[in-house]
Each structure stands twice: as C-alpha cells, then as structure tokens.
Homo-oligomer: A and B are copies of this chain.
C-alpha cells in the first residue's frame, strides 16, 4: 500500500495532535497496511467462494463482518 508518513501526520494533526513522533507515524501506517492486507485477503477469498473472478463491494462488506 502507498500510505505516506506525511498523510499519517496530517491525519493525526486533524484529529487534534500538536506534534507527532516519527515512530507514531510509522506504527499507524504499519497497522493500516496490515488491516488493509487482511481485509483484502478475506475479500478475495469470499469472491472465489462465490465463484467469481471479480472482487465486488459485497466481498469487501463481508470481509468487514468477518
């Protein structure tokens, strides 16, 4: 995934942070990438289970419930 550290800083400042440490930006990015990967894998699994080659919104929604 292409999540930049600067977008992590922007997000945290928008949430009210005055300053953000580099390791905090890295930790948030790492976690989001992990979450994205996990969701992606589940969605692909569900699309295959439904006999499709296309991942659809319903697969993402099911991955979010699992």
B11 touches A28 (CB 8 A): no
A1-39 vs B, CB cutoff 8 Å, 1 = contact: the mask equals 111100100111011111111011011100110011101
Q: How far is the CB of A45 from chain B (nearest CB, A)?
A: 8
A54 touches B21 (CB 8 A): yes
- For the residues of A in contact with B, the DSSP-based class is helix
Q: Closest B-chain residue to A58, C-beta based?
A: B24
A4 touches B7 (CB 8 A): no
A interface residues, Cβ below 8 angstroms from B: 1-4, 7, 10-12, 14-21, 23-24, 26-28, 31-32, 35-37, 39-41, 43-44, 47-48, 53-57, 59-61, 64
